[in-house]
């Protein structure tokens, strides 16, 4: 159910920047489901099931400067996407976002589980009452990649080829109406960068006569390749709306994921100095947005639309929203999860922003 109307002194939502704002505390939870009312929450994101006791982190809503983001309305969302297919493309954080939307929409209509691959990475759910299909298309890097062991000829690590996309997701795009594309954290590891057979550099390496770049360079090239494929090469993608969901930060403190880092906070950070203190994360966001703007200008004459669901600044302020140790750590004992997000949790606000972006696009 939508919340109270915004004060008349605030701007209409369509007039403001959804990405800049602060978190405000409310007396009631800002979430729309619980881990008991949503049956599709992956076990590793079900923080309350695994023992998290504090619930105050659920009572915060994102408020952009000068306007309100309407509360998520699953019935309205389903009406906006009636007869359409929406696909989320990306890594496990993209899947986290997908699962949040699935929970939100299931409060209005129970979906049918149509397809799951053996690794549970490619998923398809259908809402028959609205003729709406929701898909998850897994891809770590968006472009074609290989993982090779070290030998006398090649250093170990990942090999990315920016002249080729990951066909597992790209081949599934035709006929899709709305695509939400994202990726990020897999780029923080040694990567060898190629354009065809030409090595153009590497990330986190120390090779003679090879240019070493930071992860932001590889992220830019990957999104450039993916967006240009959609704009220029994807047959059957006419009229498609592509939305880039911006970089989602991790919040490890006192170490990294493999050195004992954790994220024990229970409330948001304030909005002061976010961009000056989190320049690294905001830099990734800026590069992603630049690529969307470039391809968006090119796509206007091709019947394709591009936009942004800009969650980075809002997410930077939510170190309290991760599973931390409450994720049923069966696979990597002793490690905390400060990358993904609890369900329910702050990630649900991404879908409030998504709904508002879709509303603006439909009105346009």
Residues with a catalytic annotation lie at 92, 337, 340
- Alpha-carbon distance 52 to 174, whole Å? 42
Distance of CA 341 to the CA centre of its chain: 11
- Alpha-carbon distance 339 to 112, whole Å? 29
Q: Burial, 305: exposed, middle or buried (Cβ in 10 Å; 0-12, 13-18, 19+)?
A: middle
Q: Is 86 helix (H, G, I), strand (E, B) or coil?
A: strand
Count the Cβ atoms, other than its own, within 10 Å of residue 304.
Answer: 21
The side-by-side arrangement of strands in the sheet containing 212-213 is 143-148, 157-165, 191-195, 198-203, 212-213
Nearest to 245 by CA among 287, 290, 295, 307: 307
**The two structure tokens encoding residue 243:** 């939305």
CB distance 260 to 324 below 8 Å: no
Residues 6+ apart with CB under 8 A from 165: 142, 143, 144, 225, 226, 229
């Amino acid at each position: 159910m939508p919340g109270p109307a915004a004060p008349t002194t605030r701007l209409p939502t369509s007039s403001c920047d959804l990405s800049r704002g602060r978190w405000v505390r409310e007396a009631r939870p800002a979430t729309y489901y619980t881990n008991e009312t949503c049956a599709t929450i992956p076990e590793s994101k079900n923080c309350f099931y695994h023992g998290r006791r504090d619930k105050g982190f659920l009572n915060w809503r994102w408020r952009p400067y000068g306007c309100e983001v309407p509360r998520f309305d699953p019935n309205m969302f389903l009406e906006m996407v009636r007869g359409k297919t929406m696909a989320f493309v990306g890594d496990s954080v993209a899947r986290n976002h997908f699962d949040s939307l699935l929970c939100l929409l299931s409060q209005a209509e129970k979906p049918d589980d149509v397809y799951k691959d053996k690794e549970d990475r490619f998923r398809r759910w259908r809402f028959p009452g609205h003729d709406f299909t929701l898909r998850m298309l897994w891809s770590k890097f968006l472009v074609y990649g290989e993982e090779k062991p070290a030998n006398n000829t090649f250093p170990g690590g990942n090999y990315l080829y920016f002249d080729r996309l990951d066909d597992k997701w790209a081949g599934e795009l035709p006929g899709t109406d709305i695509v939400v594309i994202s990726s990020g954290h897999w780029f923080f590891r040694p990567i060898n960068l190629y354009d065809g057979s030409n090595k153009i550099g590497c990330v986190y390496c120390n090779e003679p006569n090879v240019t070493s770049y930071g992860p932001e360079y590889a992220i830019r090239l990957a999104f450039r390749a993916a967006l240009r494929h959609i704009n220029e090469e994807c047959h059957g993608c006419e009229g498609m709306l592509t939305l880039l969901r911006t970089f989602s930060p991790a919040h490890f403190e006192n170490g990294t994921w493999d050195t004992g880092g954790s994220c024990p906070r229970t409330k948001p950070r304030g909005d002061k100095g976010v961009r000056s203190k989190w320049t690294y994360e905001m830099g990734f966001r800026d590069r992603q947005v630049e690529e969307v703007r470039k391809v968006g200008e090119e796509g206007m004459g091709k019947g394709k639309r591009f936009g942004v669901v800009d969650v980075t600044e809002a997410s930077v302020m939510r170190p309290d929203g991760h599973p931390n140790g409450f994720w049923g750590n069966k696979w990597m004992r002793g490690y905390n999860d400060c990358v993904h997000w609890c369900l329910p949790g702050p990630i649900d606000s991404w879908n409030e922003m998504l709904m508002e972006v879709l509303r603006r696009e439909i009105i346009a």
